[in-house]
Amino acid sequence: MGAARTTERNTTMATIGTFTSTEFGFSGAIRTLALNVKARIARVENPSDKGPHFRIYAGNVEFGAAWQKRSSESDRDYLSVKLDDPSFPAPIYATLTEVEGEDGYQLIWSRQNRD
């Protein structure tokens, strides 16, 4: 996993997962100091207008959801991800996207710095 880095927009970012595309979504792993799980991101068959397009599982336990989005800056598709579980102090928000120079898809966590 990648080390945390700060962007031009004063945002801290880190790669917390790597995934590959599958027939039904994505398969990979998520690793943080508190989390080290194999995960799958499964496509929702008929999502509602505002409901998630994907559900995220570790084994048989659902612990997140993702929404298909399109970047206006790069005109590329990505997934807006929310991971949550009763054991987490707060939800984890991240983006699943292809990163130039990397294989597969990267799950990138980010947080606005409040400096």
Q: What is the pLDDT of residues 94-110, one digit of tens each?
A: 999 998 888 899 999 98
Q: Which residue has the higher pLDDT, 111 or 36?
A: 36
pLDDT computed for residue 1 by the predictor: 47
Q: Which residue has the higher pLDDT, 2 or 85?
A: 85
Q: Note the pLDDT tens digit of each residue in 38-93.
A: 999 999 998 888 899 999 999 999 999 999 999 888 888 999 999 999 999 999 99
pLDDT computed for residue 81 by the predictor: 97
* CB within 8 Å of 70: residues ≥ 6 apart: 76, 77, 78
The tokens for 81 are 């991800």
Q: Which residue has the higher pLDDT, 5 or 44?
A: 44
The tokens for 42 are 């499964």
Q: pTM for the whole thing?
A: 0.84
Helix (H) or strand (E) holding 79: strand 77-83
Characterize 43-54 residue by residue with b for buried, 16 or more Cβ atoms within 10 angstroms of its Cβ, and e for exposed: beeeeeeeebbb
Residue 65 and residue 34: Cα distance in Å, rounded?
Answer: 19
Q: Residue 50, CB half-sphere, CA atoms under 13 Å: how many?
A: 0
Q: Residue 97, CB half-sphere, CA atoms under 13 Å: how many?
A: 19
